[in-house]
């Protein structure tokens, strides 16, 4: 069984949600706070101060979900068209128990937890999200990973009648992502089904999305309909679109710039119009937990 991640703080330590609803105006005057790390997580995070979640409004109205448009508010405006119930996920490849699993079936066998993670976009903005969900390892252990499996591939729903953005060839649809098996089995890797204790909104990846907090946000694929265990590294959408800018690993790394901008700092969403950019932390503040996964690897070459 995978080692479970245990936070040193509980939801009792989190500022109540309603106090964040006007956070943009409040924090503008204060110049923003330096957020860092997972609550109760790595030492660099604690050294820079307490972690404060963004408001529900900020999390659900500023995001990328190109299937519903390329603007930051497009997903919130358009994703209501997505039908999320009933929902099923096909799990296949190198597993002992392949099949199509309903959301009800999946949720009946897992433990839902509340975790507060930093979220870092490759576009150099960040926020802090209180997710609800379960460890991906729990689902993979349930279906039985076979010895030959080395990678996990994911696929988003493709519904042109419900997703207006897929009518434009921004990417080669459907959206695809992948992890190395040890990354997928890591206790920080979760399948999110909610935010702030509510069901996850459509624009944030309902009814279930991947969350890998030490990687850039596009790795955390939304509205998953297929999971495949494979021996070979799977194709991933942004890497297919532009391999020189979007590597397979896409770990948050302030020392490896995007070809068009630096990654050594980030803009905190909700920090106010005049808030300073904050330094980007290696592995998004989770270095203590995940650096061992990449021991001996050249992270400049394997970006």
Q: Which residues are annotated as a binding site for Mo-molybdopterin?
A: 63, 66-67, 121, 156, 204, 209, 220-222
47 CB-contact burial (10 Å; exposed 0-12 / middle 13-18 / buried 19+): exposed
Q: What is the DSSP pairing of strand 278-279 with strand 151-156?
A: unpaired
Instruction: Quote the CA–CA distance of 45 and 37 in Å, as a whole number.
Output: 4
Helix (H) or strand (E) holding 57: helix 56-61
Length of the chain: 303
Residues 6+ apart with CB under 8 A from 251: 214, 215, 216, 283, 294, 299, 303
DSSP annotation string for 202-264: GGGTTT-EEE-TTB-GGGS--SEEEEEEESSPPP-HHHHH-TTTS-SS-B--TTS-BTTB--S
Residues 6+ apart with CB under 8 A from 117: 38, 128, 129, 131, 188, 211, 213
Instruction: Quote the CA–CA distance of 150 and 153 in Å, as a whole number.
Output: 10
Angstrom CA distances, 285 to 63, 95, 175, 261, stand at 21, 33, 27, 20
Instruction: Quote the CA–CA distance of 27 and 51 in Å, as a whole number.
Output: 14
Q: Which residues are annotated as a binding site?
A: 63, 66-67, 121, 156, 204, 209, 220-222
Angstrom CA distances, 100 to 130, 131, 132, 227, stand at 29, 25, 23, 10
Q: What is the DSSP pairing of strand 190-195 with strand 265-268?
A: unpaired
């Amino acid at each position: 069984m995978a080692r479970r991640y245990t936070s040193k703080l509980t939801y009792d330590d989190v500022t109540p949600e309603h106090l964040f609803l006007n956070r943009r105006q409040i924090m503008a005057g204060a110049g923003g706070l330096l957020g860092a790390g997972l609550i109760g997580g790595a030492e660099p995070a604690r050294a820079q101060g307490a972690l404060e979640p963004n408001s529900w409004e900020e999390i659900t109205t500023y995001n990328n979900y190109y299937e519903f448009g390329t603007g930051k508010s497009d997903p919130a405006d358009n994703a209501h068209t997505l039908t999320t119930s009933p929902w099923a996920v096909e799990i296949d490849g190198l597993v002992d128990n392949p099949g199509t699993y309903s959301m009800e079936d999946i949720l009946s066998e897992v433990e839902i937890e509340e975790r507060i993670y930093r979220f870092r976009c490759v576009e150099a903005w960040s926020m802090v999200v209180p997710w609800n969900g379960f460890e991906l390892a729990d689902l993979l252990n349930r279906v039985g990973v076979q010895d030959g499996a080395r990678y996990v591939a994911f696929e988003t729903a493709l519904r042109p009648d419900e997703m207006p953005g897929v009518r434009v060839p921004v990417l080669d649809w459907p959206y695809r992502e992948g992890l190395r098996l040890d990354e997928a089995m890591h206790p920080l890797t979760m399948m999110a089904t909610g935010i702030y204790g509510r069901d996850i909104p459509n624009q944030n990846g309902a009814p279930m999305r991947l969350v890998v907090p030490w990687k850039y946000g596009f790795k955390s694929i939304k509205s998953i309909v297929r999971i495949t265990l494979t021996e070979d590294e799977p194709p991933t959408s942004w890497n297919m679109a532009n391999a020189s800018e979007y590597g397979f690993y896409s770990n948050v790394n302030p020392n490896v710039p995007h070809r068009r901008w630096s990654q050594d700092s980030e803009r905190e969403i909700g920090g106010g119009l005049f808030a300073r950019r904050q330094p980007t932390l290696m592995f998004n503040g989770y270095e203590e937990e995940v650096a061992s996964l990449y021991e001996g690897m050249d992270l400049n070459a394997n970006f």
